Amino acid sequence: MQGKSPSERMKWSSVIGTILRRGASNLVGLSTPPILGETAAPLANLISSSNAPISWKFLVGSPSFATAATASAVFHASTPLQFNRSFSSSAGSGSSNVVLIKTEEEFNSSLKDVQDKSLPAVYYFTAVWCGPCKFISPVVTQLSKEYPHVPTYKIDIDQEGLNSVLNRLFITSVPTLHFYQNGKKAAEIVGADVNRLEETMEELYGKD
């Protein structure tokens, strides 16, 4: 995948994951190839217990692409229940405080404002083709209502002209969230980890 932009590499990984998920039931069944027989189940358990995304680096760098493929097929199996518990328990209301960032200039301007004025902010890097992003986006929106003093800047990595931003911030997987407090980056989350997202928001912004 050399020569491709970060967003192209991440999209390629997502496409691979989508194809593999359609045949996931065959990967850990009677038709499981020998290369997967001893590793598929443990790896499935490991990935299903985590909400981390499967990035292009994981797919390409894995000792066995087939093993990585199995992980991509099952990594999100445990998240719907967790999402339902968390989202249904949210009591926040009000207007969403999500701001769409469409250009590098808008991103740089927002970040400069946050840094110069020592403001709190959340930067949410996402993509329309990203399954975990679709899962966590409603939670991000809900939390933006619960913390109206903290703007959430939503960045679609496929927007033209954002490659330099993605490279500068080392964005290699989506969803990725950067949390700023007093104008400085205070935390980062990679993956659709709802519990960690809620805890981070409360820890950083709950007392403001």
Catalytic center residues: 130, 133
Measured CA to CA in angstroms, residue 28 lies from 64, 67, 132, 205 at distances of 16, 11, 22, 43
Burial of 145 (0-12, 13-18, 19+ CB in 10 A): middle
**CA-derived radius of gyration, the chain:** 18
For every residue of 65-121, DSSP letters joined together read: HHHHHHHHHHTTTTHHHHHHHHHHT----S---EEEE-SHHHHHHHHHHHHHTT--E
Of 51, 135, 138, give the one whose Cα is nearest residue 90. Answer: 138
Q: Is the dihedral of CA 114, 118, 121, 125 positive or negative?
A: positive
